[in-house]
Structures are given as C-alpha cells and as structure tokens.
C-alpha cells in the first residue's frame, strides 16, 4: 500500500488526537492581530476556512500564496490553510527591504499576498492579484461552516518555495515538496526526542526554512506552540517560566541573548534540566556551549542543514559515551555539525573551486536524502548544478571523521551566515561597488562571539576619493536590509587575487580565522 505523505497528515492527526488541547498561544503583545489561544480543533477549523477562502478567490492547486509576517498564529495556520490544500506557500523574510520582497512575490508568481499589520505601511507598494493584511479575518477566512474543496494528495507536489541567499545577488526559490516536509519533520522530531509532553517556543522565524519543519513536527505530535514575534533574552526566559517551554530552535545570537539576560534574572533559571535548545546557522564558541549547560542547565543540540535540505542533514546531541568528559571537551565535540540524520547519505569530494589549479581548503560536502529540494523555482540551470551527479552540492567544505561526524571547515559558496541569516557576499559587494568612492571590494565572514559570523568588507578606494567606515556602512543600510550591512570596513591598498584576476577569498579570510579548525563559525 502506498499512501501519499503530505503536510495535511500533521494537522489531521492533531485535530483527531489532540483537538481539545491548546495548540497555539499567539503573541500577546499584538492584541489587534492576536488570535490568543487556539485549540488544535480551532486551528484546524481556521486552516479549512482559509483554504475555502482561497477556493472562493479562484486560487487553484499549485498556485503560489506569499506571506510576509513575523511569527504569528496566522502564519502558523497558513502552513495548513495553504499547503495542506494543495497550494504553494511562499514564506518571505520580513527583514527584507520592500524592493527585495517585491522581487520574491513577482518571481514566484504569487497570486495572493498576506502581510503582517506591522509591515503593511512599509510594504504598501508591494502587491499581488489579491493582497490582504493578517488580522482582517473576513479577507483571510471563509465563513464558519464553509468547507474547502477536496485536494487529491500528492507527496511529490511542491509545498513551499523558500527564497534563500546564494552565490548570486538575487535569491533563489527553493522548491520543497510534501515528501521533503514529511521526512524532515518526522526524522527531526525523532532525533531530538519530541513527545506530546513538550512545549515549543518559536524563537526561530517561521519563514526560515519553514521554521526548520517545527510547525509540522510539533503539530503532528500535539505539542503546544508558543509564539514569539521578536527575540529578547529576558522575554524568552519569561516564556519558558510561564508556559513550561521545553524545546526551542535558535541561532547562536539567541543563546547569547538568553545568557546575557540570565545574568540579571531574579530567582532560579527556568527550564533547568528540561529545555533542549537546538542550534544551527553557525556553531557558537565552545564556551557558549559550556555556559548554556552550566548556567542555564539546558541541553545544547547542534544541527546542520540548508534551506535546500528542508533543512536537517546532521544532528549532534550529547551521547552517553561523553558523560565523563570535562565540559570543555564535550563542548568541542558538540560544536561539530554532527552525524547524518536517519536516511541521509553524505560524502566529501575534493574540489578545485575556481578552476585555476588551486584546491579549496577541504572537500565539498555532498548529500543524498528524501529531504533534498525538488529544484530551484524557474532556474533549471541552477537546479542542474546543485544536483549534479545525483548528489546535492552543499557548497560547504567539510571533513567526515572516522566516527561519522561532520565538521564544516569552509564555505565554497560566497554566503555568510550571521545570526542565522544567509547573506550573499556578492550582493553586499554590489551595493558597495555602487558607491562612487569604492574601486575594489571583497566581503567576507569573520568570527564573532555573538553572531557566529559577522560581515566585514575589505575596500580599496578609488584614486582621489574618500569615504569613512561609517559612510560605507550607512550606504549599505540605505540600499539593502540592515542585517546585510557590514559591521566593519577595513581599507586596503590592494586585494589578493589569482593570476587570472580572481579574488582569493580563502586567503583574505585566513588571518581572521587563524588558530581555528574551520574557516566558518
């Protein structure tokens, strides 16, 4: 028997088994748009009414529906109202500038655009065939009792298109199928030990790789979702205390914020010996891992993956064999990317990254799994390159140890991961090149205790031109999303290049990463 694996399975089970249980606690700090507490039965009903509204608008199976929102119950429900009815959800990074959002909406061909009320004015000029503000529920949902049209489940259908920064200035749309979603959610939940006794805090933006699949995994297992719109260390501690949170996913900067808030927290740190904090994006310094375990009493779990892999490829969790290790030694082991998740095959191959006869610092990590993307939306050449030879090419240099654990050492693609967000160095370079005083520029990632990596620009000024560090940083913030701006500018007389004139970024990065095992953090 072959039964299609689709996103609908997760909400159907939640409604059937946990219908009377509170499924989501919406963000209370936005009362005008907050849905408050919803049971899983109520969440399922809203998803069906959303699908029915899309029916009424003439939105067909396979049509794209874009949503730009902070974490919210309506965004969470849209993973089912849109995806589980056969349409394609396009979750958009709410930190992007209006012109960047417009590009994604237009490139994806989205017929519907949902906008968070906090972003409505800023995105006033970004539109689609149908544009609605989240919170105007007469526009979002059909009347109670109206049931959506039946969708014939297809596990190979595209479920979401998630735009990610890559080696080009324009982001690529990653097509994730229902089968990708299902496999990722189930294996992720298994590896981190999720049960219906857990409570999940959405510290991670839901738009980011579909919240790493947590909107699906947690729903299917009846876990309560606690929504957090904006990261704040003290507020995270309060939510853990008030809601009994046991699981959260985060970039290293979130852990840093919680550790800082804990310094002035009155009373016992909540969640001790109960919370698992799952990190990715860039592993934090080993001392951060030690502090998370010692000062918070939370379990640290490291994962590695990409938007293109739904995202889970590897998991690194404290093993029984490490119980007697000193905390610092255990932390070193935990900051590796981890061992392959169930159903993931990994390989490393050597690579001449720029074709000039010089080898990359390590082999490129390749992956095969049911979590690997279907392709890049309307970019067949990029798809062919990414999936060449029947393997997904991660673009990350890595080594696989004798114990099967992966360590990421370098990044072939010109992508900097800062605070969990991918930033294309080429895009930042393009912005800086547009400044009249800039003759040459190379943008690299350098280690940072808070963000894992941060953006540094190495700049050669044009003859007779002047510009300060503050001038160039402000220029970038005016022309791109703020998180894409360099945090520092270093002025150089020249930049290291090959004989053919290509920038040798691994050489430019090397001094900043000296003494470290890997060239990414």
- Look at residue 478 and tell me if it is in a domain: yes
Query: Per-residue pLDDT averaged across 185-193, rounded?
Result: 98
- Look at residue 476 and tell me if it is in a domain: yes
Percent residues over pLDDT 70 in the chain? 92
Of 25-34, 212-221, 473-482, which range is least confident?
25-34
| β partners of residue 164 | 172
- Look at residue 389 and tell me if it is in a domain: no
Query: Per-residue pLDDT averaged across 444-459, rounded?
Result: 89
* Residue 144 neighbours by CB under 8 Å, 6+ apart: 45, 49
- 182 pLDDT exceeds 50? yes
Write the pLDDT tens digit of every residue in 281-296: 766 778 889 999 999 9
- Look at residue 501 and tell me if it is in a domain: yes
- 465 pLDDT exceeds 70? yes
* Concatenated DSSP letters of 147-207: PPPP----TTSEEEEEEE--SSSS-EEEEEEHHHHHHHHHHHHHHTT--TT-EEEE-S-TT
- Look at residue 470 and tell me if it is in a domain: yes
447 or 32: which leads in pLDDT = 447
Write the pLDDT tens digit of every residue in 331-360: 989 989 999 999 999 999 864 444 444 444
- Look at residue 506 and tell me if it is in a domain: yes
- Look at residue 498 and tell me if it is in a domain: yes
- 502 pLDDT exceeds 80? no
Nearest to 260 by CA among 302, 285, 280, 288: 288
Of 215-229, 352-366, 389-403, 461-475, which range is least confident?
352-366
> Using 50, 70 and 90 to split pLDDT, how confident is the model at 403?
very high
First to last CA, the chain: 45
Structure tokens that stand for 287 in this block: 């001392």
We report the CATH number of the domain holding residue 478 as: 3.30.300.30
Strand, coil or helix: 5: coil
Q: Containing domain of residue 500, as a range? A: 416-513
> Using 50, 70 and 90 to split pLDDT, how confident is the model at 161?
very high
Predicted pLDDT at 498: 56
Count of domains observed in the chain: 1
> Using 50, 70 and 90 to split pLDDT, how confident is the model at 62?
very high
Predicted pLDDT at 29: 65
Query: Per-residue pLDDT averaged across 55-80, rounded?
Result: 97
- 85 pLDDT exceeds 70? yes
Predicted pLDDT at 296: 98
- Look at residue 202 and tell me if it is in a domain: no
């Amino acid at each position: 028997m072959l039964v299609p694996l689709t996103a609908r399975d997760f909400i159907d089970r939640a409604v059937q088994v946990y219908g009377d249980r509170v499924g989501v606690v919406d963000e209370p700090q936005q009362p005008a748009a907050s849905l408050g507490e919803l049971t899983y039965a109520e969440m399922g009903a809203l998803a069906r009414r959303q699908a029915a509204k899309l029916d009424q608008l003439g939105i067909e199976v396979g049509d794209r529906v874009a949503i730009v929102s902070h974490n919210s119950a309506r965004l969470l429900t849209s993973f089912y109202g849109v995806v589980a009815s056969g349409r394609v959800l396009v979750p958009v990074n709410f930190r992007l500038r209006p012109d960047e959002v417009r590009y994604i909406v237009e490139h994806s061909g989205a017929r519907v655009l949902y906008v968070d009320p906090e972003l409505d004015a800023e995105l006033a000029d970004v539109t689609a065939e149908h544009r609605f503000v989240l919170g105007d529920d007469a526009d979002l949902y059909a009347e109670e009792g109206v049931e959506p049209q039946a969708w014939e489940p297809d596990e190979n259908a595209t479920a979401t298109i998630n735009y990610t920064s890559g080696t080009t200035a324009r982001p690529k749309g990653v097509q994730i199928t229902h089968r990708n979603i299902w496999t990722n959610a189930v294996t992720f939940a298994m590896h981190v030990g999720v049960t219906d006794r857990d409570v999940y805090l959405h510290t991670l933006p839901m738009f980011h790789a579909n919240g790493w699949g947590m909107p699906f995994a947690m729903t299917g297992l009846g876990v309560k979702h606690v929504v957090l719109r904006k990261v704040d260390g003290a507020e995270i501690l309060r939510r853990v205390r008030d809601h009994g949170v046991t699981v959260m996913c985060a970039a290293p900067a979130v852990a840093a914020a919680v550790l800082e808030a804990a310094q002035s927290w009155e009373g016992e740190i909540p969640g001790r010996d109960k919370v698992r904090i799952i990190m990715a994006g860039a592993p934090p310094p080993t001392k951060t891992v030690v502090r998370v375990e010692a000062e918070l009493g939370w379990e640290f779990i490291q994962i590695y993956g990409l938007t293109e892999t739904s995202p889970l490829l590897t998991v690194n969790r404290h093993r029984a064999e490490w119980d007697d290790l000193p905390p610092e030694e255990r932390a070193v082991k935990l900051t590796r990317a981890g061992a392959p998740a169930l159903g993931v095959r990994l390989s490393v191959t050597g690579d001449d990254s720029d074709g000039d006869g010089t080898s990359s610092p390590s082999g490129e990590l390749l992956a095969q799994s049911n979590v690997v993307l279907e392709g890049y939306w309307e970019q067949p050449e990029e798809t062919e390159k990414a999936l060449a030879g029947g393997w997904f090419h991660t673009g990350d240099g890595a080594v696989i140890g004798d114990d099967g654990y992966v360590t990421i050492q370098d990044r072939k693609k010109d992508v900097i991961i800062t605070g969990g967000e991918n930033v294309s160095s080429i895009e930042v370079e393009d912005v800086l090149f547009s400044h009249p005083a800039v003759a040459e520029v190379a943008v690299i990632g350098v280690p940072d205790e808070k963000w894992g990596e941060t953006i540094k620009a190495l700049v050669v000024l044009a003859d007779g031109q002047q510009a300060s560090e503050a001038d160039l940083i402000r220029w970038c913030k005016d022309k791109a999303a703020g998180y894409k701006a360099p945090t520092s500018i270093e002025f150089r007389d020249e930049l290291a290049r090959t004989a053919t004139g290509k920038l040798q970024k691994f050489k430019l990065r090397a001094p900043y990463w000296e003494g470290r095992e890997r060239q990414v953090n």
